[in-house]
Amino acid sequence: MLVITNSLDWAKTETALIKLGDLIPMFRHDIKRLSNNIQSQVHELSKLELHARTTKSRLALQACQDKLDEINQELKQIEKFHLMSVLSQ
């Protein structure tokens, strides 16, 4: 299951995501595009995490959690899309 708990988890999750793309060649291009999109969101998450660590405010921590939830939701959608692609072959 593709899930991250902080921005540092992205490297191993991205590797797993690319492996999913390798399983279905027609899915590979879409995975690259989706991966780049998520990577930009992870970059934003990284900035939010830094801000949260320096300010230690609840609002900053909540912003991190919201961004993390958004990223994990997209990862879940990618897994569903991949499953549908596998089942349709």
CA distance 85 to 40: 25
What pLDDT shows up at residue 47?
96
What pLDDT shows up at residue 58?
95
Res. 4: pLDDT tops 90: yes
- pLDDT, tens only, 40-83: 999 999 999 999 999 989 999 999 999 999 999 999 998 888 88
| Tokens representing residue 66 in the block | 């919201």
Mean pLDDT of the chain: 90
What pLDDT shows up at residue 88?
79
pTM value is 0.89
CA distance 14 to 16: 5
Q: Which sequence spans correspond to the domains of the chain?
A: 37-89
